[in-house]
Structure 1
Amino acid sequence: MQHLGISTSHSSPHLIFICQWPCILSLKMLRLCLFPLLLLPCTLAVNFAWENIQLDPSESLIYPAIRFADPSPSRPTPPCKTIPGDLDWPSEEEWVRFNDTLGGVLLKPRPLAAVCYAGSAYDGEKCDEVTRGWGSTKLQYFRRPNIDHVPMGVGKRLCTHIRPKLDLHTRWLAVNFARNMKIRLVVKTSGHDPNGKSIGGYSLSIWTYSLRSLTYFPTYTSISPSYSGQAVALGAGIRAADGSVAMSQYNFTMSIAGGSTVGLSGGYMQGGGHSIYTSYFGLIADHVLSIQAVLANGDFVTLDGETGKDLFWAFRGGGGGTFGVITSMVVKVFPRTSIASSSITFSTLPSRDSITGLSVETFWAGVKAYFGYCIAICDAGGIGYNFIRHATSGNNTGLTFTTSISLPNYTRQESQSFTRPLLVSLSNLGIPVTVPPAQRLANHDTQ
């Protein structure tokens, strides 16, 4: 047995109560600390400290709204969830009691644009700032945790207040309360979901973004899936940027998202989880060794290839927030693997190399040639992120194609040799492509 001191980042879960606007459980991040680990021949489960603070079933005897699900065969339930105005919607007193049970963690965040309207929140200077930046996704993403688009005619309804709390107990309470009160429940990690599955009107939302704990295992052994090697335990809020830091610190490689703020355990993994290493190592869903989750009935479970194997299979690609609330997961990681990357660009717009630019026909012929080469890229374990954009140059408008071909475990010279047949094909079409020298990255850098 070997005791290790592993640097682990701890932070806390967020609950969001959404009326017309989502409300958030905004939780403070804890400072870095040393977390002692015991390496055993076979690791069955990894609990972070905040996963050990669990709900005692006896609490529901005092407060039935947080009771666990009835284990008897399920009965038919109404097809619709409760919304404000329904007789079954919790009263203000009920919300206050729930908030007290949580330890005072319900929030009442104002909409971002509230500074532009008459009332205590009005601020002309901040209103100008919001108005100028309203089209910015960064403003929308980083400046507020709620959704402020309200259906017409719903009136002025805001939500209750939330303060930080760090434990699994709050999630249990949220899942049980939402189920028993027939309120829609949604789960959000970082909110990178164009389909909007991480939000929901009139819902209780569990926000996992600040559960930023990470523990590295130099040796981890799993029975099912059968594995022995390096692994990391990731709290539900670990982002790609955190994964990138860990890769540099512990000298390993793992599949992470290209966007630095994407949460790895949320919709990213639960939707499959592609990365720059996908053709080489596979999706991150392929690398999961175990999952800790709270299910809809309130049970806190550890899932792997033997225990709860159907749910373990479903979580890994079945969609974010579909089967339960993931609190953490363990994934296998790989020896440090460098990447050689080269870029290609061509356009119908004039450039320094061409006064007239490509014809539209030649442009699309070049795109076709590139996609014809994609099979070779994937077979080589590489990946090519590519974009076709409308672009302008002076008074001219046109199309621009760009791609970055990334090849894990290739040298610069090998990368240049690999892309040469594609460059010859483009040249034969009359597309003069100048490729910058290939770059060799020590690991995957998030974009």
Structure 2
Amino acid sequence: MFHSATSFAFQLLLVAAFPSLALAASEGTDFLWWENIQLTQNVLTNWSYTMDVTPYSFRSNFRPPSTLPKCKTYPGDSDWPSDSQWAAFDNVLTLKLIKTVPEASICYPNGSVVNSPQCQRLTDSWNNSTLRIEDPTSIRSVLFQGMTCMPPPHTGYFLSPSITSPSCTIGGFPEYVVKVGSVTQVQLAVNFAREKNLRLVIKNTGHDFGAKSVGKGSVSIWTHFLKDMVFIEKWKGGKGGYEGPAVRFGAGVQVWEANEFSKKYGVTLVGGEGKTVGHIGGYIQGGGHSPLTSLWGMAADHVLSINIVTASGHFITANSTHNTDIFWAVRGGGGSTFGVVTSMVLRAFPKIKVTTMRYNMTTSSNFSRDQFWEAQKAWVADFKKYADLGYYSYTRIRHVNGELFHDATSWIAPNTSITDFKASVAPMFAKWKTIGVPVTPIIREFDNYPDAFTDAFPQEAWTWAMRQASRFFPQANLATPEKQEQTLDAIRSVVDEGSNTIIFNMRNPPGSASIDNAVNPAWRSLLLFAIMFVTWNTTAPTPYVTELSRNLTYEWNPRWRALTPGSGTYMSESDYIEPNWQQSFHGDKYARLLKIKKTWDPEGVFYAQNAVGSEEWEMSEKILGHLPSQNSKLCRI
């Protein structure tokens, strides 16, 4: 078992604050230690003698949506909690309530810009994902929050011609953040937000492209410090019959931490390629593709048990025998909509050797664009062979200084020696030599996956002036040379018109389509996953940025959709305004997901952009005329 350095001190604090709470001495296979600190009806009954417990009570009978307010409650509304009510809420949380102060506010100490060493350091480090993750409210998709408080040089002048100087307001950031350290605090936050009709959001790292972790006037549940990890030598339970090594992770564990932990115990975990991504939050709840997907499938396929706080405020365990509907939904149906996951049990796989490869190529006077695209076709021609071998590649095509730059950030070959890997890619390099590709690959072998992962994937940057869209290309789209050329032509067309792309080569292994969870069915026939993205300078003219953004949704991505009827895309790396997102993200599973959502959260306590049930809500304002603004009111349609 493993505890963070602060766990015991925090445990003592909670015992002192809540002597009536049930508290176990340590964690086990069912709960982490802080999951034993639970709000119960007995606790509420004891509290009722000394305080008003109405805002913190459980919901036993949900109210029909028709009887609820049309919009969430916002600052300035008559029902917005008073200062004394916020203070009382903070008191029952044991002082875990944070009033939002935007990170860049240090640049505006008196309401206007003040140049200072602190502001300059923040400006210089603004794209550092590790630093941004440690802030209670920072998110990657700040564009959709309204970019209301940015370091002065990063001010989004493109958002409106009326912006003449930098400024700082809370905007679409939450009004308050609950820095949770126990199940009790999660339950209190859910109950308070529900009873006060407040918008509720959930944040771990803020590493998402869809602005699911922010919202005007909201209360945010910040799970980032729930980092306890337990290794289970032999998990046994459930209908699946799995018996073997597993781990239980708290909601705050990140991918790099999960890999370090797995190395310690000589096992391998299916996790993301982004180092700072939360391992069991929106990543795994959205399905979770991995450098190990071609070998072992989606991360959500290996969830054995889930502990979750539901919209009623109750803390439940969901697995293959208990609360099976929500267990099915959370494994792939999306985060921030069914409840607040506090921990999961995940299957662990044996230690394996891994070979990695990195390379890059750039067009020049000696390497034309036509040669460049011939090289791409030679590469894509063997996608099925590589995926069937268990490989996974993450590559980019970007516009750099007027040239096209293609790099394999990493090509991962799990359970493969360097000798076997070189033999498998030799035909491609032979073709590239004939084409005249200027490339010198770096190929390395590791005796374990965590070390290969650390070497292969650089830490991702925190970007803010960008938009993206994406699409799955099934195996049928690459089944013949003609179809491969058609697919590459569709990708080239958007690159030629100004987009950058990320291309993944992976598959789901045979038999994975029979797994009974909410993972998008389109994942199971995937062979190429492509993301298009555009970037711009924050001082760019509004019409220019608007055109780029609209092109993604209304011009470019429709070309890919037309080639892939009935397919879909990955909700966590998709268009913010993905057309027909219900089908794109969930396929024929959406009706079942919506039914489960209405069973567990009929009042709409949980909302996130393009999440299950979100079509019943809308935001009152738009960014650039077409992007729903998280810095506006959320109301029922």
TM-score if structure 1 supplies the norm length? 0.82
Give the secondary-structure state (helix, strand or coil) at the position aligned to 1:206.
strand
Q: 2:331 aligns with which of 291, 308, 316?
A: 316
Q: Does the alignment pair 1:68 with 2:52?
A: no
What is the Cα deviation at residue 118 of structure 1? 4.3
**Number of the residue aligned with 1:105:** 96
Are the aligned partners of 1:257 and 1:274 in contact in 2 as well (CA < 8 Å)?
Answer: yes
What is the Cα deviation at residue 140 of structure 1? 6.5
Q: 1:427 aligns with which of 433, 443, 450?
A: 433
- The residue identity in structure 2 corresponding to 1:418 is S
Are the aligned partners of 1:344 and 1:402 in contact in 2 as well (CA < 8 Å)?
Answer: yes
**Number of the residue aligned with 1:56:** 40
- The residue identity in structure 2 corresponding to 1:47 is F
Are the aligned partners of 2:357 and 2:411 in contact in 1 as well (CA < 8 Å)?
Answer: yes
- The C-alpha deviation readout for 1:17-62, integer Å capped at 9, x for no partner, is xxxxxxxxxxxxxxxxxx8677xxxxxx610110111112242644
Indicate the larger mover: 162-171 or 378-387: 162-171
In 2, the alpha carbon distance for the partners of 1:11 and 1:256 equals 26
Moved over 6 A (4+): 35-38, 120-123, 151-165
**Number of the residue aligned with 1:334:** 349
**Number of the residue aligned with 1:358:** 367
In 2, the alpha carbon distance for the partners of 1:83 and 1:238 equals 32
**Number of the residue aligned with 1:30:** none
Are the aligned partners of 2:285 and 2:333 in contact in 1 as well (CA < 8 Å)?
Answer: yes
In 2, the alpha carbon distance for the partners of 1:175 and 1:442 equals 41
Work out the number of aligned pairs and report it. 403
Distance of aligned partners of 1:388 and 1:428 in 2 relative to their CA distance in 1, 3 Å threshold: same
The unaligned stretches of length 5 or more in structure 2 are 8-24, 139-144, 150-162, 458-637
**Number of the residue aligned with 1:400:** 405
**Number of the residue aligned with 1:16:** none
- The residue identity in structure 2 corresponding to 1:97 is A
Distance of aligned partners of 1:162 and 1:296 in 2 relative to their CA distance in 1, 3 Å threshold: closer
Q: Does the alignment pair 1:185 with 2:200?
A: yes
| Greater strand proportion | 1
In 2, the alpha carbon distance for the partners of 1:143 and 1:405 equals 30
**Number of the residue aligned with 2:546:** none
Q: Does the alignment pair 1:128 with 2:120?
A: yes
In 2, the alpha carbon distance for the partners of 1:229 and 1:139 equals 33
Indicate the larger mover: 69-78 or 373-382: 69-78
Distance of aligned partners of 1:87 and 1:399 in 2 relative to their CA distance in 1, 3 Å threshold: same
Are the aligned partners of 1:11 and 1:211 in contact in 2 as well (CA < 8 Å)?
Answer: no
Give the secondary-structure state (helix, strand or coil) at the position aligned to 1:217.
strand
- Kindly report which structure 2 residues correspond to 1:142-291, keeping only aligned pairs within 5 A, or say none: 142=133, 144-147=135-138, 149-150=147-148, 166-291=181-306
- Kindly report which structure 2 residues correspond to 1:356-395, keeping only aligned pairs within 5 A, or say none: 356-392=365-401
- The C-alpha deviation readout for 1:413-447, integer Å capped at 9, x for no partner, is 10001101211232333335443344335223243
Give the secondary-structure state (helix, strand or coil) at the position aligned to 1:130.
helix
Give the secondary-structure state (helix, strand or coil) at the position aligned to 2:120.
helix
In 2, the alpha carbon distance for the partners of 1:163 and 1:177 equals 11
What is the Cα deviation at residue 215 of structure 1? 0.5
In 1, the alpha carbon distance for the partners of 2:85 and 2:115 equals 33
Are the aligned partners of 1:115 and 1:123 in contact in 2 as well (CA < 8 Å)?
Answer: no
What is the Cα deviation at residue 374 of structure 1? 1.6
The unaligned stretches of length 5 or more in structure 1 are 1-5, 13-34, 39-44, 350-355
Q: 1:47 aligns with which of 21, 26, 31?
A: 31
Are the aligned partners of 1:190 and 1:263 in contact in 2 as well (CA < 8 Å)?
Answer: yes
In 2, the alpha carbon distance for the partners of 1:236 and 1:139 equals 17
Give the secondary-structure state (helix, strand or coil) at the position aligned to 1:292.
strand
**Number of the residue aligned with 1:17:** none
In 2, the alpha carbon distance for the partners of 1:154 and 1:341 equals 44
In 2, the alpha carbon distance for the partners of 1:280 and 1:139 equals 29
> Percent identity over the alignment?
33
Q: 1:439 aligns with which of 421, 442, 445?
A: 445
In 1, the alpha carbon distance for the partners of 2:298 and 2:369 equals 36
| Greater helix proportion | 2
Indicate the larger mover: 63-72 or 381-390: 63-72
Distance of aligned partners of 1:118 and 1:285 in 2 relative to their CA distance in 1, 3 Å threshold: closer
Give the secondary-structure state (helix, strand or coil) at the position aligned to 1:179.
helix
In 2, the alpha carbon distance for the partners of 1:181 and 1:250 equals 45
In 2, the alpha carbon distance for the partners of 1:166 and 1:73 equals 30
Give the secondary-structure state (helix, strand or coil) at the position aligned to 1:110.
coil
Give the secondary-structure state (helix, strand or coil) at the position aligned to 1:218.
strand
Give the secondary-structure state (helix, strand or coil) at the position aligned to 1:8.
coil
- The residue identity in structure 1 corresponding to 2:3 is T
What is the Cα deviation at residue 133 of structure 1? 4.3
In 2, the alpha carbon distance for the partners of 1:155 and 1:437 equals 48
Are the aligned partners of 1:342 and 1:406 in contact in 2 as well (CA < 8 Å)?
Answer: yes
In 1, the alpha carbon distance for the partners of 2:107 and 2:346 equals 46
Distance of aligned partners of 1:297 and 1:10 in 2 relative to their CA distance in 1, 3 Å threshold: farther
Are the aligned partners of 2:273 and 2:291 in contact in 1 as well (CA < 8 Å)?
Answer: yes
In 2, the alpha carbon distance for the partners of 1:333 and 1:156 equals 42
- The C-alpha deviation readout for 1:262-293, integer Å capped at 9, x for no partner, is 11110110111111111101111000000000
